[in-house]
Amino acid sequence: MSDHEYTPKSKVGKWFNDRLPILTLANHLTDYPTPKNLNYWWTFGGILTFCLITQIITGLTLAMHYIAHADMAFESVEKIMRDVNYGWLIRYIHANGASMFFLAVYIHIFRSLFYGSYKSPREIIWIIGIIIYLLMMASAFMGYVLPWGQMSFWGATVITNLFSAIPLVGEGIVTWLWGGYSVDNPTLTRFFTLHYLIPFLILGLVVLHIWALHVPGNNNPVGIDIKKPSKDTVPFHPYIVIKDAFALLMFMIVFAFFVFYAPNILGHADNYIEANPMVTPAHIVPEWYLLPFYAILRSIPDKLLGVLAMLFAIIILALLPWLDTSKIRSAVFRPLYKQFYWILLADVLILGYVGAMPAEGLYLLIARIATFYYFLHFLVILPVLGFKEKTLPIPLSITDPVLGGSPNLAIAKNRDSFDN
Q: Which is nearer to other proteins, 306 or 321 (CB)?
A: 306
285, 291 Cβ separation under 8 angstroms: yes
CB of 173 to other proteins, least distance (A): 10
Q: Which is nearer to other proteins, 366 or 379 (CB)?
A: 366
Which of 4, 5, 20, 360: binder of other proteins (CB under 8 A)? 360
Residues 245-304 that bind other proteins (CB under 8 A): 277-284, 298, 301-303
Phi/psi region, residue 66 (left: phi>0; alpha: psi -120 to 50; beta: rest), is beta
Total residues interacting with other proteins, rule: CB under 8 A: 35
Please tell me whether residue 368 binds other proteins under the rule CB under 8 A: no
161 binds other proteins (CB under 8 A): yes
Alpha carbon of 375 to those of 285, 296, 379: distances in Å? 23, 10, 6
> CB-based contacts of 291: which residues, under 8 Å, 6+ apart?
285, 351, 352, 353, 355, 356
Nearer to other proteins, 167 or 405 (CB): 167
Does the footprint of other proteins cover residue 175 (CB under 8 A)? Answer: yes
Per CB under 8 A, which region of 19-27, 357-365, 386-394, 395-403 contacts other proteins? 357-365
Longest CA–CA span in the chain (Å) reads: 75
**CB closer to other proteins, 43 vs 152:** 152
DSSP summary character for residue 392: P
355 contacts 292 by C-beta, under 8 angstroms:
yes
Residue 84 makes CB contacts below 8 A (sequence gap 6+) with 65, 90
Residue 169 interacting with other proteins (CB under 8 A): no
* Residue 235 per-residue DSSP state: E
Alpha-carbon distance of 154 to 158, in angstroms, equals 6
Does 404 interact with other proteins (rule: CB under 8 A)?
A: no
Nearer to other proteins among residue 220 and residue 271 (C-beta): 271
Residue of 359, 379, 392, 412 that binds other proteins (CB under 8 A): 359
Q: Are 347 and 377 in contact (CB under 8 A)?
A: yes
- Under 8 Å between Cβ of 371 and 296: yes
Among 129, 306, 321, 395, binds other proteins (CB under 8 A): 306
Distance CA 416, CA 414 (A): 5
Question: What's the min distance (Å) between Cβ of 359 and other proteins?
Answer: 6
Task: Confirm or reject binding of residue 179 to other proteins (CB under 8 A).
Answer: yes
Q: Compute the least distance from the CB of residue 397 to other proteins, in Å.
A: 51
Our CB check for other proteins shows the closer of 10 and 182 to be: 182
Choose between 64 and 278: whose C-beta lies nearer to other proteins: 278
Burial of 302 (0-12, 13-18, 19+ CB in 10 A): exposed
Residues that bind other proteins (CB under 8 A): 154, 157-158, 160-162, 164, 175-184, 186, 190, 277-284, 298, 301-303, 306, 358-360
